[in-house]
Amino acid sequence: MESNKPFSIKDRVKSFMYAFNGLKLFLTTQHNAWIHIVAAIVVVVLGFVLKVDRYEWCIFVFAIALVLVTEMLNTAIEFLCDKVSKEIHPAIKKVKDVSAAAVLIAAIAAVVVGLIVFVPKVLLLLPSHA
């Protein structure tokens, strides 16, 4: 979709306001959002405690973002599906199930990243490795 409208700071600010409104909506309506936020906080705290390096931080940032982004997209898809049809419809169920599966895959990947980074660091702290 092309626009011949000239660049406008006011329009850019409005677009950021829409995005922040979407973030607020996500955080105030989605219980899973808070589960992901708590998990992210745990990862960040453990990252500082276990002194992860900058490359591991980069991987954590991407893993956390992947989970949050997929959860947000899942939420957007669910909002749209609920608008299209309030009744249970087999096609809409498939759409919702697949979008939920995307979140599941992202969350599993994030857990695997956490295990790959944290397990060796925790093992080094155990008495048999001291």
Tell me the domain boundaries of the chain: 9-129
8-state DSSP, 86? S
Distance CA 17, CA 36 (A): 23
Catalytic residue selected from 2, 71, 78, 87:
71
Provide the whole-model pTM: 0.88
Which residue blocks in 30-89 are alpha helix, DSSP H? 31-49, 54-84
CATH topology of domain 9-129: Helix Hairpins (1.10.287)
Contacts with 27 (C-beta within 8 Å, 6 or more apart), sequence order: 33, 34, 37
Respond yes or no: is residue 56 known to be catalytic: no
The per-residue pLDDT for 96 is 95
Question: Using one digit for the tens of pLDDT, what is the confidence trace for 61-98?
Answer: 999 999 999 999 999 999 999 999 888 889 999 999 99
